[in-house]
Structure 1
Amino acid sequence: MKEIRFYRASEKPYGVFSNLYRRPITFEKCVYPTSEHAYQAGKARKEEVRDWLMAAPSPALLAMAAHGLYQWDITPDWSRIKFDRMRAVLRAKFTQHPDLAAILLDTKDAVLIETATVDNAVNRLWGEVPGKGGKNMLGIMLMEVRESIRQNSNKRRRKITMQAAE
């Protein structure tokens, strides 16, 4: 089976899969500059910590700051809810931007793998590190979103075809 590896937001064409890719999304009635912002906004327990994170000068610095939060600044059930939040953020990103959805759909059934360059626990959770492995949760969730978009697109096509036949 074909694999597509991605990591940096600047890489063409698959940099769009990175949460650091600069494309605004509306999530929970807020507009965020990137999917990383939308995801990390849910991590902070206090509004002032969230505001501090959102003021980071780049998505990469936002991620770095969010990974360094003290435990008492993190939403108490974060380890339980973070995956559902990421799924919802990714769904918002790719359904709000048809051009990004097209790139995702063009991957067909390829296995999507975020391939990090630095070995740490975060990179091994969300992606893979060469020679170290990883859970590739971001890649798995992107494949789930791809399948969901594909199924919804097929349903719309069938509905249009049935309406045209009537």
Structure 2
Amino acid sequence: LLALCLGDIIFAGTDTTALTTTWLLAILSNYPDVQRKIQAEIDDFVAKNGRLPLYSDRESFPYLAATQKEGLRLRSITEFGVPHEASEDINLRGYHVPKNAILIGSLDAMHTDPLRYANPEKFIPERFLGYPESMSTLASGSIKKRDQYNFGWGR
């Protein structure tokens, strides 16, 4: 049983990474200009430092990070986020949400909201150049400052 559970955990971690990578490669195949910008970032780093980049150098690659964020925004791994429970009665935009109600958010709706993202149906990595913080840092912060919602949409 332990092996089965561990297998599920490992598969869940590798499967989501594989899907994310596959989607990003599929998207990038249609955007050679984005590929060139990423390549230029890498080439500039190698020319300046005389070595290949390491994970610890990730802050030197803002366009690559923006491309990753945009790929996750445009093609979320799952349709819905983790369900949440209302901790109190609230009224939201004319709707009553009773205490203990289960709330399920649509990541697709959040990621294609034209009030949050201009031209949400288009792949535009530049929209994330103003978010230098890591995805995990932003996912733990204010919902209004999040770059995308794959790692959470509320508390």
Greater share of helix residues, 1 or 2?
1
Q: Same fold (TM over 0.5)?
A: no
Say which one has the larger Rg.
Answer: 2
Greater share of strand residues, 1 or 2?
1
TM-score by length of 1: 0.30
